Amino acid sequence: MIDIQELIRLATEARNTAHVPYSNHPVGAAIVTDSGNIFTGCNVENAAYPLGSCAEQSAISAMVRGGEKTISVIVVVGPTLEPCTPCGGCRQRIREFSTPQTIIHACNEQEVLLTMTMDELLPQSFGPENLKKI
């Protein structure tokens, strides 16, 4: 069983290590894979803005490096009491490694504020199956 409070703690811990000198908007993410492993990430900004990476992107990179390919649950914690949902680019990144039933939780440090499935987060999405050869 997934301990959501532990995932929030891990995402918050990751968020607290973020490198955000430009936006001052630290974000942390914790991913649970279909095999139950957990990977975390934080956002890392760069003076050349497009070269930075989001927390979700960092966690996905760690997951892939760890040999995993499918996200079961992802928790995202931002810097405020309001939900911090994944940006457009991260929605597509999450989609690449998800099923329609993958759960996305937008949280603050204490609790889940918003929960949605991958299909709710990115309806009518474009994914790997759209690139199958004819």
Residue 21 CA to residue 10 CA, distance in Å, equals 22
CA distances from residue 89 to 5, 10, 96 in whole angstroms, order as listed = 26, 22, 11
Length of the chain, please?
134
CA dihedral 69, 37, 60, 8 (to 10 degrees): 140
Cα 54 from chain centroid (whole Å): 8
Which residues have a catalytic role annotated? 56
Residue from 8, 7, 34, 39 nearest 101 by CA:
34
Using CA of residue 79, residue 40, residue 96, residue 104, what is the dihedral sign? negative
